[in-house]
Amino acid sequence: MDTISASDITPEHLFRSRREFVRNTSALILGSFALAACGSIASQPAAGGATVAPGQTKGTADELGDALTSFDAVTGYNNYYEFTTTKEGVAELAQNFKTTPWTLEVGGMVNKPQKIAIEDLLKRYPQEERIYRHRCVEGWSMVIPWTGFALNKLLKDAEPTAQAKYVRFESVMRPSEMPGQSSPWYTWPYVEGLRLDEAMNDLALLVTGVYGKPALPQNGAPLRLAVPWKYGFKSIKAIVKIELVDTQPTSLWMAAAPNEYGFYANVNPDVPHPRWSQATERRIGELSRRKTLPFNGYAEQVAKLYDGMDLRANY
Ligand code: MTE
């Protein structure tokens, strides 16, 4: 997460088709500027990638009336450093990533540790669609129809012990399929964390699908997190391990740049990133910037988690 790609300044019509999108993004690269986190200046966007149609979604907008971001953008403009730092290149590099067999390990400070195959997880927990805003720390955002189930269901079933204070999430480590994991700049595997009460909040969603279909590899299939009141980097992809722990986990981004990325990472328009403002964002598919909402518009559901905390110190 260190620079913003040229496509962050790409106008709406470029998202209409993948091919057009890729072609035009290449042209815009010359005009790119180094700015943000979670991204990089795209050098050579990958052409092609699988063409997949969206499935049925129940809604067309979020609860604020904001329209869904296009399927092409949701599945063609991704941050996934295990593959590449180029957002437009992830889909193609990830298309042969093996999402089966897949086992999730739930352990640490729990009474009922378990290893669950993804198929059993899907059977055990009924899936629901939730339309969430997704705000990247780089200053762009989307509205995405995820399918999944509340993380708290899984956690309750595992029975955290009294010592458990945090939840640590770990992504898969598979350098043979994930070329980005050869990069020495990051401490692989990708790790994220939540305080236990944050993880128990009903908004925290374990995602298995996008746009009414099983999730595609580029979106973190077969299992990723969506924590919509936090910057996108907290929403870890390709999860293989969930551990209950008593000390605050160090995430990949905290290890990489501790002065820029904190543990909490709540969306907060009043606290700028050290290198740019967080007051506004560019909704992918829109031309002008819009104001960023505290907690990404989910304050009613989550602000109470932070009562009495200094949200500037705990960025
Ligand atoms: N998870 C893993 N394992 N690796 C990553 O590079 N990127 C994060 C997050 N989860 C990332 C990850 C960032 S910076 C963002 S903004 C979101 O995934 C992007 O999710 P999307 O590509 O589905 O929009």
Q: Tell me the residue type at 131.
A: I
CA dist., res. 272 & res. 286, Å (int): 22
Residue among 5, 72, 75, 79 whose CB has most ligand 1 atoms within 8 A, to mutate = 79
At 58 the pLDDT is 84
**What does each C-alpha distance from 137 to 37, 40, 132, 235, 280 come to in angstroms?**
6, 13, 16, 12, 11
Among protein residues, the one with the nearest Cα to ligand 1's atom 4 is 80
Q: How far is the CA of 245 from the centre of ligand 1 (A)?
A: 23
The string of pLDDT tens digits covering residues 223-266 is 999 999 999 999 999 999 999 999 999 999 999 999 999 999 99
Q: What is the reported pTM?
A: 0.87
Choose which CATH entry (3.90.420.10, 3.40.50.9100, 1.10.3210.10, 3.90.1170.50) describes domain 6-306. Answer: 3.90.420.10
Which of 3, 93, 237, 296 maximizes ligand 1 atoms within 8 Å of its Cβ, making it the mutation to test the pocket? 237
Sheet with 239-245: list strands edge to edge. 114-117, 103-108, 239-245, 166-171, 191-195
Report the separation in Å between the CA atom of 247 and the middle of ligand 1, taken as the mean of its atom positions: 24
143-193 pLDDT tens trace: 999 999 999 999 999 999 999 999 999 999 999 999 999 999 999 999 999
| Per-residue model confidence (pLDDT) at position 53 | 76
Q: What is the pLDDT of residue 15?
A: 33
Can you give the residue ranges of every domain in the chain?
Answer: 6-306
